[in-house]
Amino acid sequence: MPEAMFAARASDATNREAAVTVDVAVVGAGFAGLYLLHRLRKAGFSVVVLEEGGDVGGTWYWNRYPGARCDIQTIDYGYTFDPELDTAWKWSEKYATQPEILRYFGFVADRYDLRRDIRFCTKVTSATWDDATGRWQLATDSGAAVSCRYYIMATGCLSAPKPPEIDGVKDFKGKVHFTGRWPHEGVNLKGKRVAVIGTGSSGIQSIPLIAEQAAELTVFQRTPNFALPAHNGPQPGDRKAMLENDPAAYREQARLSLAGVPYPQQMEVSWQLSEADRRARFETAWAAGDLVHILTQLWADQAVDADGNRLVADLIREKIQDVVKDPEIAAALTPHDHPFGAKRPCLDTNYYATYNRPNVTLVNLRQEPIKAITASGIATDRRSFDLDVIVFATGFDAMTGAIMAVHPITGRAGKSLSSVWAGGPQSYLGLTVAGFPNLFMITGPGSPSVLSNMAVSIEQHTDWVVDRLIAMRDAGFATIEATETAQAGWARHMADCSMLTLHRLANTWYTGANVPGKALGVMPYTGGVGPYRSICNEVVERGMLGFRLTGENVAEQCNDGEIVRLQPDVRLVLGMLAQMNLPPIETMGAQGARDFLNEFNKGRPAGRPVGEVGDGVLQGAEGPLPFKLYRPATPGPHPIVVYFHGGGWVLGDQQSDDPFCRDMCRRTGMIFVSVGYRHAPEHRFPAAAEDGYAATRWIAEHAAELGGRPGPVLVAGWSAGGNIAAVTCQLARDRGGVEIEGQLLVCPVTDCTYDRPSYTENAAGYFLTRGLMYWFWDIYCSPADRADPRASPLRGKLEGLPPAFVATAEFDPLRDEGIAYGEALAKAGVPVEQLNGHGQFHSSFTMVDVIITGVSGRVKMAEALRGFAGLPRQDSEQRAPEISVAAE
């Protein structure tokens, strides 16, 4: 295909002045706008696209700075809606240059005859919803008004460049350029003294090429960033072969993945790998030159856990030191202030090596801030630099900037979007905003957008929106609007998701921190494109949940509610379990259920290392019982926590909650002794309860031998183990012989009735079912014995018990009896802390390194145990790094 045919070209501007009435107006003729136009037109809607630029291409139209390229492999960075298009266009490189990408958009525009419905060089200056007509009225800088029923922002996430933010720019006598608005005719930097301010992706791509042209280049760096070599060249054969072997499967895998690029989910955690293994994986990733590879394929904890992340970051830091010859410059270029990936990392070609050139100077703005731009150059508080050209690579008012720049967008009742978003962007699904009927955003704040392959997200958003418009038309609806409930629910889900990854721990454009005065919070959806897609589909399947639909000749429809109430990782785990289509556990028989649990546990991530793990035997109520001991790496003697595992008095053993015991041992700095108490049906009530008390007594008596602190012990347990821990406290109080200084009850069984609301609300679908609880009770305890406080501690006397921490989970049949126990303890004068894990299920806190959002609960539990044992609070360094900083 001769490239000249598709060269970017300015459109004919003669059609600019006519007013227009259409079904749909789209702002932006970039990646999203072009696909919207194609799909809407095919669906029979009349459409106009309003584009400020002189041609198609969006971000690729504006960002023409030297070195501009995509940094998702081009094989993954294109439209996939038309398989013929996929084969008609051939990319020349692994990472295409900006001119080639722009030619691609020209090619697409021509192939689908898109330009005729695009008004170029046209900026929307205001958009106002008119309730009376049910239409948006747009004003444009060309003077032509547009009336549309649906208004779609395809404005991109990084299209409103930040202003310079440095005093004196107007005084500068040389030339000033912005990477995001690079002159189309190019800039001759040969022999010039050039400054680049900013070391994000744009700076890092352009600096090596500017250094080659300029006489002198001075880089002004505020924050060093992580950059990886792109190793650009021909498209890698392996990925090309994958695509060519089965294009449909390849594209589908991308759509269901987390980042929009077909990579499998990494399951191995860093502590399962030797240092040599980790280094080998890292070197492979480094050589691959692929951001998604290095961000997702090293080890499972790299993006969700600060320790796992530090291992990658350290290896990258080593690489920087290897390349940059001057140690002081290398140190200045080495990032330490954010986890790898929390700020957008960059792909580079010769970036670090550029600082070995004699004509390149790095100015570390952390040590010598810029005072002002002067007539002759830039003055820091230490020195002055005489310059001919200043390049601002200082980034964008991301995600909201381009939407808010269309000012004002006025919705229902005269409310402006900027006032609604003053405290941070609010949206439902990142696609719509309550109070702004018929307004859609493509890759808006609240969608996976910039944390994904944009190509995949744009197609998904566009398809979803256009399909909704078609369905509405077919049903006679003319307006669609998100409800406040749905929007608030999405905000909560977004906040839950933001705890999954480390993005919240960095000051970046993802969080709005790069723009002075902007509200802070993680703006993109961090739950991944696959889960996001399934949520959008679920909204439709559940009758457009969270939307109000109206039309002239049709009854209003509003199925109000929140689309995701579970924590995002709980939703994923339950989804996977549902897909496994397991028979109910209670139908497996006791031995079958035990075998199942053993198999199931083999698939979980290995527990984290502790100082020492040992096995032993203790004296139970009627004979020896095995135990497992977890000792912290810190010097002892440590307080001892006697731990009782979960499993409905029927399943599990002293090592079935191994990851939980390890995690709590590390967090508390205490010895955990997990007891293998007797199980039903072989040993029915009160065997487990009596073993709990006997084991606790034995452990307290042998504390010194176990390396523990002599004196009182603590007890803890999950589920039926929580029941045993609670009962043990009552027996210890009544029978003496062991002093207990605190109890941790995690989702405990406390009572034998099933009439509390949580038993009905959460009867099925959350792994621990009502049916399974009936089965456990039947196997353990005959109905006549169930009211005995050794089975139902809620029915016992509660005065004089040790202080307690009671954790419950929102989606757990046992929730309300746990809460009731906490309340009853408090009423009886026992100091109690209660935690009801929002969006969590019965196993959330014990599925360590699977349910990441359970971490904050375990941190609180550990703090409570330390408090009971009289240990000082841990400082934030020692606490779980995952929650040590919560920006939002």
Give contact residues for ligand N01 (rule: CB under 6 A): 69-71, 158, 165-166, 179, 197-203, 205, 222-223, 344, 365, 393-396, 450, 509, 514
Min separation Cβ 179 and ligand N01, Å:
6
Min separation Cβ 373 and ligand N01, Å:
11
Q: Which is nearer to ligand N01, 387 or 688 (CB)?
A: 387
Our separate counts of H helices and E strands in the chain read 26, 29
Contact 641, 884 (CB under 8 A): no
Pairing mode, strands 713-718 and 740-746: parallel
Nearest alpha-carbon partner for 728 in 811, 621, 626, 823:
621
Min separation Cβ 124 and ligand N01, Å:
23
Coil, strand, or helix at residue 880? Answer: coil
Q: Supply the angle between the helices 31-42 and 454-475 in degrees, to the nearest 10.
A: 30
Q: Which is nearer to ligand N01, 395 or 489 (CB)?
A: 395
**DSSP states of 408-423:** -EE-GGG-BHHHHTTT
d(CA 79, CA 876): 46
- The gap between the terminal CA atoms of the chain, to the nearest Å, is 50
Min separation Cβ 675 and ligand N01, Å:
52
- For residue 637, say if its preceding peptide bond is cis, omega within 30 degrees of 0: yes
Nearest alpha-carbon partner for 153 in 550, 396, 449:
449
d(CA 133, CA 552): 11
Q: Which is nearer to ligand N01, 378 or 642 (CB)?
A: 378
Q: Which is nearer to ligand N01, 455 or 549 (CB)?
A: 455
Min separation Cβ 351 and ligand N01, Å:
12
Report the half-sphere exposure of 623 (CA within 13 A, side-chain side): 3
Could you tell me the two tokens for 73? 């492999």
Min separation Cβ 134 and ligand N01, Å:
37
Q: Which is nearer to ligand N01, 381 or 734 (CB)?
A: 381
Min separation Cβ 340 and ligand N01, Å:
14
Computed on alpha carbons and rounded to an integer, the radius of gyration of the chain in Å comes to: 31
Min separation Cβ 862 and ligand N01, Å:
34
Give the DSSP letter of residue 90: -
Question: How far does Cα 681 stand from its chain's mean position?
Answer: 43
Min separation Cβ 344 and ligand N01, Å:
3
Torsional sign, CA 148, 151, 152, 156: positive
Q: Which is nearer to ligand N01, 343 or 662 (CB)?
A: 343
Q: Which is nearer to ligand N01, 344 or 666 (CB)?
A: 344
Give the DSSP letter of residue 85: H
d(CA 341, CA 345): 6
Contact 361, 217 (CB under 8 A): yes
Q: Which is nearer to ligand N01, 42 or 184 (CB)?
A: 184
Q: Which is nearer to ligand N01, 70 or 618 (CB)?
A: 70
The number of beta carbons lying within 10 Å of the beta carbon of residue 789 is 18
Q: Which is nearer to ligand N01, 165 or 734 (CB)?
A: 165
- For residue 224, say if its preceding peptide bond is cis, omega within 30 degrees of 0: no
Could you tell me the two tokens for 404? 């808010």
Pairing mode, strands 227-229 and 554-558: unpaired
Could you tell me the two tokens for 405? 């720049």
Q: Which is nearer to ligand N01, 341 or 646 (CB)?
A: 341
Nearest alpha-carbon partner for 665 in 701, 691, 616, 628:
628
300 to 265, 295, 319, 593: CA distances (angstroms): 8, 10, 22, 29
Question: How far does Cα 579 stand from its chain's mean position?
Answer: 23
Contact 463, 266 (CB under 8 A): no
Q: Which is nearer to ligand N01, 76 or 817 (CB)?
A: 76
Min separation Cβ 250 and ligand N01, Å:
21
d(CA 842, CA 807): 10
The number of beta carbons lying within 10 Å of the beta carbon of residue 365 is 17
Q: Which is nearer to ligand N01, 402 or 564 (CB)?
A: 402
Min separation Cβ 388 and ligand N01, Å:
20
Q: Which residue(s) pair with 267 in the sheet? A: none
Q: Which is nearer to ligand N01, 369 or 867 (CB)?
A: 369
d(CA 236, CA 785): 68
Min separation Cβ 535 and ligand N01, Å:
24
CA angle 690, 696, 699 (to 5 degrees): 135
Min separation Cβ 372 and ligand N01, Å:
12
Q: Which is nearer to ligand N01, 38 or 69 (CB)?
A: 69
Element (H, E) at 475: helix 454-475
Q: Which is nearer to ligand N01, 332 or 433 (CB)?
A: 332
**DSSP states of 329-348:** HHHHHS--SS-BTTB--EEE
Min separation Cβ 69 and ligand N01, Å:
6
Q: Which is nearer to ligand N01, 347 or 806 (CB)?
A: 347
d(CA 74, CA 71): 8
Coil, strand, or helix at residue 34? Answer: helix
Min separation Cβ 63 and ligand N01, Å:
6
Q: Supply the angle between the helices 529-541 and 454-475 in degrees, to the nearest 10.
A: 10
d(CA 68, CA 87): 25
Min separation Cβ 354 and ligand N01, Å:
15
Minimal CB distance to ligand N01: which residue? 200
Min separation Cβ 757 and ligand N01, Å:
46
